[in-house]
Amino acid sequence: MKRHGMINSHITKILTDLGHTDTIVIADAGLPVPSDVPKIDLSLKLGVPSFEDVVVAVLEDMATEKIVIASEMKERNQKAYELMEKQNILVEEVSHEQLKMLTSKAKVVIRTGEATPYANCILQAGVIF
């Protein structure tokens, strides 16, 4: 068993396999997942686990060079927006519709139990060197 970091074996495998510029999605409970993109469903009940808990845990293990969010997040989900802004990672804003289209290129969608609007982000892999 691992001593530190991510212990979810499915997420660990995805993170280990990521190459530079590959993307993953961390999604609220309602974001549609394209049928050809694998989904890791962590949801237990509404709000559990939270978007914040999953984002923080994944970012601890993932070399991330960019975060993509829906521009609507700034007005409709201030808490999630502030979380994104404090990561010291480039944040790019796109429309919610564009974000949903970009999920089709992701290696995986990680579904949380989050039930607040616009609690979704795309993390783009960086490199560790």
Residue positions annotated with a catalytic role: 20
96 marked as binding residue:
yes
DSSP 45: B
120 marked as binding residue:
yes
- Reading across the β-sheet that carries 23-27, which strands appear in turn? 39-41, 109-111, 23-27, 121-125, 64-70, 90-94
88 marked as binding residue:
no
Helices 51-61 and 78-85: angle between axes, nearest 10 degrees: 10
Q: Can you say which residues are annotated as belonging to the binding site for substrate?
A: 28, 96, 118-120
Q: Can you say which residues are annotated as belonging to the binding site?
A: 28, 96, 118-120
